[in-house]
Amino acid sequence: MRQKIQSLLEQYEGAILGQRSNLRLLLSAILAGGHVLVEGVPGTGKTAMAKTLAKLLDGKFERIQFTPDLLPSDITGSMILNMQEGKFETLKGPIFTNILLADEINRTPAKTQAALLEAMEEKQVTIQGTTYPLPDVFFVVATQNPIEFEGTYSLPEAQQDRFLFKLNINFPEFNEEMEVLRNVLENKLDASLISPVMDLADFSAIQSEIEMVTVGDGILEYIMHIVRRTRETNAIRFGASTRAGISIGKAARAWAYLAGRDYVTPDDIKMVAKPALRHRIQLSPHVELEGAAVDQIIEELVGAVPVPR
């Protein structure tokens, strides 16, 4: 299984250039059973990241373009009348998939955004009072554009907390971007050339193995000190919840597994702390006026917590 996941990671990094760290974090999130909120300007490969991962896993992929007129039933499904048989039938929506790309999720109102809450938290969907389970491997990648705010609806804090990670996608380095340009023009990044590395049964087995990765008491205390520090510093108005600590622990186990270890180290915690916390805390007004960034505050906060031996 470790050989398969390493092979998947190598092909993933070969298909999506310039996002090595974010690809590992995205894979860690799905291995940990979580969901990811991705923020980046258009044309940086956000859709390709989700679609390529679905192909490598031989899983079903669906994409929903969120718009202001999108209805909850457009996501979950609805009941329709079968005129021939004279009875109602359930028409399942695109949410019944393995990897769901919720493209520009902040362009739809809160009522439609909330249609994802039950699915993300409970892995089930209710249509006209009837509950339907989602696939065992179910993963939401939601994207939002940070440069356009006209006609957008900010995600409620409760929904943001459902995401394991928030990833910031930046432009690749010059040489990497040159390689992307060359590969596209030479048709080397054709999605049809990507073949599955494993099936969903293998992936579920790997998820079970990750649950056996050891998280020592010292590491647990380290996580809790970081989370509680977010509630005690004057730089942060609203600190992280208990769910944040759980997310850090689960993601760190997946990150350690990708590194070939069966135990979590403090460095694993440092790697996943930033994407696990940046959407769960709110800076104090005076800190925002000074121009401090969320990532900078998290780095200072984590750096101030003593590292366990």
Instruction: Look up residue 86 and give its two tokens.
Output: 């004279």
Distance between CA atoms of 202 and 152, rounded to whole angstroms? 39
Amino acid at 7: S
Q: 3-class DSSP state for residue 57? A: coil
Cross-strand partners of 141: 36, 101
Per-residue pLDDT of the chain in tens (309 residues, 90 and over written 9): 888 898 999 889 888 888 889 999 999 999 999 999 999 888 888 888 999 999 999 999 999 999 889 999 999 998 888 888 888 888 899 999 999 999 998 888 888 888 887 788 889 998 888 899 999 999 999 998 877 666 677 787 777 888 999 999 888 888 988 988 888 888 776 666 788 999 999 999 999 999 999 999 999 999 999 999 999 989 898 889 899 999 999 999 999 999 999 999 999 999 999 999 999 998 898 888 887 889 999 999 999 999 988
pLDDT of residue 158: 73
Distance between CA atoms of 11 and 241, rounded to whole angstroms? 36
Distance between CA atoms of 196 and 52, rounded to whole angstroms? 10
The number of beta carbons lying within 10 Å of the beta carbon of residue 137 is 20
pLDDT of residue 177: 86
Cβ–Cβ under 8 Å, residues 26 and 130: no
Dump the DSSP string for 236-278.
EEE---HHHHHHHHHHHHHHHHHTT-SB--HHHHHHHHHHHHT
Distance between CA atoms of 165 and 36, rounded to whole angstroms? 5
pLDDT of residue 116: 85
pLDDT of residue 259: 92
The number of beta carbons lying within 10 Å of the beta carbon of residue 117 is 13
Q: Which helix (H) or strand (E) holds 27?
A: helix 20-31
The residue behind tokens 């993963």 is: 139
pLDDT of residue 82: 81
Distance between CA atoms of 287 and 30, rounded to whole angstroms? 33
pLDDT of residue 181: 87
Distance between CA atoms of 91 and 99, rounded to whole angstroms? 19
pLDDT of residue 122: 87
The number of beta carbons lying within 10 Å of the beta carbon of residue 266 is 18
Instruction: Look up residue 40 and give its two tokens.
Output: 């980046």
pTM of the model: 0.89
Q: 3-class DSSP state for residue 167? A: strand
Distance between CA atoms of 71 and 93, rounded to whole angstroms? 11
pLDDT of residue 150: 63
